[in-house]
Structure 1
């Protein structure tokens, strides 16, 4: 593990529910990221969900964080491509990456189960596959072309252009173009098959918070196999650069009475088996909550943590700024160095 960051699901209260509202959560996310940047934490990442009281459109939040930080990567885990216009997204990502001086690490995928029935149709998009996988795939490939600077439209006849810029019939890219962004795109994968495809496509691997398999092995063992297959496929594809691999875990260092009171009961002794509807059974990772020395021993035994270069800590965003910063600080000071962490500055 060379780097670690946090992954926030952006939960907020609605109606008469208790907890921070959407405005509070967004402002707190910025404050957490600024504090994490000062600690040397490597990444600030946010889940994207639609039709739910969670983080949705990530670009405004990531732009605000990028403008107030200097070192930390800003990214997503993950953007649901079924809901996106890939060319408009490419323009947004290009602008954001330039604002962030090349600190964007954007994760995308087909998306996970959601409250809405074919919710992407409400956004104006249609798909043949019931889960929208065909449309997500087509949009993803178009996004890769766009962020690579390839032509994705055709120049109009000279008399129709205003102003006249391009040779009629020539291929037009979207703007702005940010050099290097293409190598900082990640695919969020929950299966070996999609991980292998990510390698063939030449994008980084963001192994999901779960794996769509349940054969008795731990999440770490399943993900280690996934990472091995991804890297083998990458080598076979012959890409001329080295990709990155991230995994996510729920980890709570117990360092004082407050963290013991709040998080000691969060620890689970083993992974959980659940269902993702049409995707079938899945293995969900356990939650770790212990004093630093015990955490180091437990995490060192996780084969996926040994294989991945990036670890994302899923944080309880509704707990507020102070407690989340304390968790990140405790992990950075007492746990991460023993796992091979290299701070961002």
Structure 2
């Protein structure tokens, strides 16, 4: 399990409102498309986008992901992550299957319960209710419905023949949603922040995604906490007896310093250690450090991160507000000067696959 196989980018999709400085929503969407197209030419493996509601960020990812899939050849399109509390799971299953078919399987769709947000139970405005204050129970139920739908199980029943138009089924026949993409389950990731949710993801038979923070704050580094989660996940996967090899994705803020401009823009971004903070749910979390250094230093720092070593995919969080050229240069610098030393296999050489489960 030495070294990552794939790397991509994760855009939070921030945009400016009103008289604020910065790109507006339209420009950010167009920039996201342009960055992904350029990344595809470089050989970057993944283009992922954050999903947030009631905030000036990306909220409805499928149009953008479809545009990227239709205008690229190799790069995966994905999310990090879709908040299941806001979703109709059957409609999401239809959208995800269509995207998977359109892209020839180039999908890495991350979903989860979702993180704290500006709205007070904003999912209620979308027409959904939950028993748990954070909506975790509803998110879980929707995720189970989503998995059943993408697996092709019947989720409705056929009407009596005289009520059908067109008449296609015997009355009472279980009906799945359409379209169906047989390989979609292998392209779904659960966004995990704890050992328990990582273990559950393995039991569910989906890939694992861990971002730049975890719901642990016990003095260990982010990489150490995530490495333990990955170990728990792979052990649970083996015990579950699934017949395919899963993938594991982690995210980091990384800025290779190659030019004087890079040094002026990013040198001050480097932090020497992870930070402890709160997301407002009553527990502390560990936020990952930001890396900004010359390539040789970056390589040594990233090799020392046990989670990067254990994962097969690394996503670089990018400052999307700074435009296409700058973000493409970050990806180009990482591809040319850092990624090969970490075990990178460009997308042009084949799709990313997980590590074998020992």
- TM-score, structure 1 normalization: 0.99
1:260 to 246, 258, 263: 263
Partners of 1:217 and 1:87 lie apart in 2 by: 39
1:332 to 328, 332, 335: 335
Give the alignment of 1:169-208 within 5 angstroms: 169-208=172-211
Whether 2:87 is the aligned partner of 1:84: answer yes
Whether 2:188 is the aligned partner of 1:168: answer no
- Cα gap change, 1:279 to 1:61, in 2 (>3 Å): farther
Question: Could you give the per-residue CA deviations for residues 86-140 of structure 1, whole angstroms, max 9, x where no partner exists?
Answer: 0011111111111111101100000000000000000000000000000000000
The equivalent residue for 1:20 is: 23
Displaced runs of 4 or more, over 6 A = none
Give the alignment of 1:18-57 within 5 angstroms: 18-57=21-60
The equivalent residue for 2:286 is: 283
Contact between 2:211 and 2:252, CA under 8 Å: does it hold in 1?
A: no
Whether 2:220 is the aligned partner of 1:220: answer no
Whether 2:135 is the aligned partner of 1:157: answer no
Contact between 2:69 and 2:103, CA under 8 Å: does it hold in 1?
A: yes
Q: What is the SS of the residue equivalent to 1:269? A: coil
Superposition RMSD in Å: 0.6
Q: What is the SS of the residue equivalent to 1:187? A: strand
Partners of 1:169 and 1:279 lie apart in 2 by: 48
Matched length: 345
The equivalent residue for 1:314 is: 317
Partners of 2:221 and 2:91 lie apart in 1 by: 39
Q: What is the SS of the residue equivalent to 1:50? A: coil
Partners of 1:100 and 1:316 lie apart in 2 by: 26
Q: What is the SS of the residue equivalent to 1:230? A: helix
Whether 2:127 is the aligned partner of 1:124: answer yes
1:69 to 67, 72, 81: 72
Alpha-carbon shift at residue 179 of structure 1 (Å): 1.8
Question: Which has the larger displacement, 87-96 or 275-284?
Answer: 275-284
Alpha-carbon shift at residue 279 of structure 1 (Å): 5.0
Contact between 1:212 and 1:279, CA under 8 Å: does it hold in 2?
A: no
Question: Which has the larger displacement, 95-104 or 121-130?
Answer: 95-104
Whether 2:252 is the aligned partner of 1:249: answer yes
Partners of 1:302 and 1:103 lie apart in 2 by: 28
2:111 to 89, 108, 113: 108
- Mind listing any 5+ residue stretches in structure 2 that lack a counterpart? 349-358
Q: What is the SS of the residue equivalent to 1:5? A: strand
The equivalent residue for 1:231 is: 234
- TM-score, structure 2 normalization: 0.96
1:133 to 133, 136, 156: 136
Alpha-carbon shift at residue 208 of structure 1 (Å): 2.5
Partners of 1:144 and 1:133 lie apart in 2 by: 16
- Mind listing any 5+ residue stretches in structure 1 that lack a counterpart? none
Contact between 2:7 and 2:315, CA under 8 Å: does it hold in 1?
A: yes
Alpha-carbon shift at residue 72 of structure 1 (Å): 0.2
